Structure 1
């Protein structure tokens, strides 16, 4: 019995020692952990504690300004405000709800829901006009915060709308240059930090800690307010006169690829980009409206392809001269058609042009001449020069959404396909692609990249970065370039482009008319490419009139638009009128 009691006491003592040991180990571990947190993690938990007692409000940065080539602002910022409420600080909720609902023109229930929501801060409305936000600030409503903000503003409204683009509610670019240069245009937001109690009330007498925002980088472009505005007016005038679906115009410097104007009428209001410009959205579903908006925003000069028709003969003629398969004095015969395999392919002059030289074939825009020239080139040479002149690749223009050329696969090109390609049918490309390739022919043979961005400038003007673009010389010989400029000038002085004539200037041009798919739908695109001065072009332009009513020939309705554009742009660009008259108005 005594032995049993001794064993029992020993067992209890061991249990107590074990528990005691475990408690001691736990306390040592706890102390060690506490020491670790106090020494090694002091900074981290100090910041966490600070966050609990701080409220942060964002101070929006001004977006970079977009300028035209003369320093005129074409996209700027308008001061606005963001109105928010802090639930714990609102003293008279009914008054706050009533005032904000009335001044911000919001449903009372919507405002009430946000005012009564228990949160650190609740946004009521952003992009509030300054006069309204000033009235709210002057009322000194407890718990109502009025923070400065910026809203994108476009002083010229519909000016180059599909090129410049616009921003969303978050001030990020949606389309055009606004999205292409978004990473530069966006600034760095600042903030306001205020100290609060554990209940979220701001502590009186505690100074705000303010981090100033950094404005975005400014963008200088090659667009010209005056040239663009005149081009839009000319496009609108011909669209109305011809009851056309749309009109596109691109004007650029063929020497370096700088774009002076890019027009897509009908344009839309950049300050109201969600209102359709051609139809009402009243009975549209959300999906249909979005599709209509996407169509309205689309930059067709860059994103839409078309069959170029006879304007493409500039590419074929230059390729043939460069390859040495044709000479200026070579003669051809046009009976009004040419039989290719089992096809009888007509000339636009069904009675035929008769005997003509290569130069006359270009002047007359004769399809049989170009079908013969294409056959002389052959498939391999044709595709070589299409590649050489960039037709098969994108231009790399600095706006989003550029479409690729839609071309036959080389192995599928037979005699008929080669014939139709030679006069600009059975394939599609974008207007900016065609004008860029023609510019290589006009400028002496240098491949240029069409572009809008010229330089970036910091908001304080201290740092400037010149934007550069790929270029390559000797794409074709300077002799071929000079010959083509001479031939295209003769198209205006003696041929089908007479209506592109401008008094006192040597103008070169090539007209075109293409039937849209499906064939025999009686829907056409009338076009004309023009440039001046012919010896050293400083401006090249392309006009496309989509689905004109009545007369639809490019030489009749598009060439006069080229004449009007060049007559306005050349004196403006400092090119004086010469005394030598090269043609009479046609």
Structure 2
């Protein structure tokens, strides 16, 4: 019996000791290994965090002009557990914030940690609310995005939402650099969750966003806007767009879509449109914000003959002095495809065909090059891909599948019909034609800089070298200079300056609707291009030929832009360039 008793005692002692050991180990683990975890949990029971907004980085043009910045505003919120006089809070906030009492009452009586009443409150109103010293009402510093130039480059810059995050344009593309890191204020509370007056506060300061420096030039943008507004009014056009770019590296100096919208009031609609349902209103806004230079495709028309001519020269299927005959049309299978000159141009060289923008000449060139050769050139010039611009929503080209291209499709493609590309894709392709064969990436972003002036990030963009031969590029520059000096683009001619370019008049689909897009693409100086531009006039009234109404618009911009950029006359009218 004694032996059994001893065994039981031993077992009980061992079990007790084991349990004690387990509890000790567990307690040691909790107190040492998990000390930080439980300290954090304890703090969270008696601490409350309030976010401090970080100022968003500014945006500067290439000359250091600020085109997007911040304005100090305030955010008003209520903490349910701290409000002592709810009806007074409702009345004061309603009167000062101009919000219905019923809406504020729902938030004031909502049993939650924190309810935001209104953001972007002006300083004078915030100061007035502070004077009432309302328990449970918090007035916190916030920031509102402001645009000093209102509608300048609106469809490029984009805007931010109520939370100060980018929504469209450069604001959303570079949001991760611009938005910064919010700070926070941590305060002590009692068991009821009420902040203890005079208690210790932990404050983590916000980190401001980086400043974005872009290639856009405010002055060049303004020159382009003025020219576009003028022709839009004169021709009662639906829209006028323009891009100015450096063809050597892809830096965009200006991108215009008239009409633009007010960046400081981007959601405004006309009284008539405000009566529509919410879905329709959103459609109106999306259309208003749309950047046609890269979000929309169109049939480029005769400007696309630059690509066809490049394909002919690159494949050695045509030379400058080859002769062609234009009777005013070509019969292609069962189609009679006409030249813009009804009586035809007669016998002409390839150079003269380019200068005259003669459809039969380019149909013949396309036939010589063939489908494979044409599509190879399209690919080399980046027409089957997006340009890679640092803006969201870029559209892709619309092309026939190669297997579906017959003689008629090949003929119409050769002078810019039955295909659709964006204006930016076309500008990029032609840049490669005139810069010696470099396929550049159009872009705005140059670098991001911290508030202390140190460089945070420099942006680099891909360049494909040798997409066409340098000799092809030299020949094309000479041909396109001849178009302006003595051909269909003579309305862009400027005495003393060597300018190259090409006109176009594109009929909008469906055919026969009487609606056109008149355009002109030009560059200067012709032998060493420093700037390339394209202007598109959508649905002009009256005369609609690109050479007549679009070429003068580009000339008016070049007349101001070239001297501004340090590009001066190379010769005088009485002493022509050798």
Identify the TM-score tier after normalising by the shorter chain.
over 0.9
* Aligned partner of residue 526 in structure 1, secondary structure: strand
* Aligned partner of residue 449 in structure 1, secondary structure: coil
Partner of 2:517: 525
Q: Please give the alpha-carbon distance, in whole angstroms, between the structure 1 residues aligned to 2:456 and 2:80.
A: 46
Per-residue CA distance 1:447-492 (angstroms, 9 max, x = gap): 1111010111112212343211001222222222121111111111
Q: Please give the alpha-carbon distance, in whole angstroms, between the structure 2 residues aligned to 1:488 and 1:583.
A: 21
Partner of 1:371: 363
Q: Would you say 1:125 and 2:118 are equivalent positions?
A: yes
Between 297-306 and 459-468, the greater mean CA deviation after superposition: 459-468
Contact 1:492 1:583 in 2 (8 A): no
Q: 1:353 aligns with which of 345, 352, 368?
A: 345
Tell me how far 1:365 sits from its aligned partner: 0.4
Contact 2:495 2:572 in 1 (8 A): no
Q: How does 1:148-227 map to 2 (within 5 A)?
A: 148-227=141-220
Tell me how far 1:415 sits from its aligned partner: 0.9
Q: Please give the alpha-carbon distance, in whole angstroms, between the structure 1 residues aligned to 2:575 and 2:300.
A: 26
The runs of 5 or more residues in structure 1 that have no matched partner are 1-9
Partner of 1:567: 559
Relative to the length of structure 1, the TM-score reads 0.93
Q: 2:319 aligns with which of 300, 304, 327?
A: 327
Relative to the length of structure 2, the TM-score reads 0.94
Q: How does 1:239-278 map to 2 (within 5 A)?
A: 239-276=232-269
Q: 2:534 aligns with which of 542, 545, 548?
A: 542
Computed over aligned residues only, the root mean square deviation of the Cα atoms, in angstroms, reads 2.4
Partner of 1:77: 70
Contact 1:493 1:583 in 2 (8 A): no
Tell me how far 1:503 sits from its aligned partner: 3.1
Partner of 1:410: 402
Q: Please give the alpha-carbon distance, in whole angstroms, between the structure 2 residues aligned to 1:526 and 1:279.
A: 32
Partner of 2:497: 505
Q: Would you say 1:481 and 2:473 are equivalent positions?
A: yes
Tell me how far 1:173 sits from its aligned partner: 1.1
Between 110-119 and 209-218, the greater mean CA deviation after superposition: 110-119
Contact 2:182 2:206 in 1 (8 A): yes
Q: 1:386 aligns with which of 364, 378, 382?
A: 378
Tell me how far 1:134 sits from its aligned partner: 2.1
Partner of 1:309: 301
Tell me how far 1:32 sits from its aligned partner: 5.9
Contact 1:529 1:541 in 2 (8 A): yes
Q: Please give the alpha-carbon distance, in whole angstroms, between the structure 1 residues aligned to 2:299 and 2:139.
A: 55
Contact 1:84 1:145 in 2 (8 A): yes
Partner of 1:234: 227
Tell me how far 1:85 sits from its aligned partner: 1.5
Tell me how far 1:535 sits from its aligned partner: 1.4
* Aligned partner of residue 281 in structure 1, secondary structure: helix
| Residue-pair matches, total | 573
Q: Would you say 1:462 and 2:454 are equivalent positions?
A: yes
Partner of 1:443: 435
* Aligned partner of residue 288 in structure 2, secondary structure: helix
Tell me how far 1:583 sits from its aligned partner: 11
Between 109-118 and 543-552, the greater mean CA deviation after superposition: 109-118
Partner of 1:5: none
Contact 1:506 1:582 in 2 (8 A): no
Between 22-31 and 318-327, the greater mean CA deviation after superposition: 22-31
The runs of 5 or more residues in structure 2 that have no matched partner are none
Q: Please give the alpha-carbon distance, in whole angstroms, between the structure 1 residues aligned to 2:435 and 2:25.
A: 79
In structure 2, the CA distance between the partners of 1:279 and 1:507, relative to structure 1 (3 Å rule), is farther
Tell me how far 1:172 sits from its aligned partner: 1.3
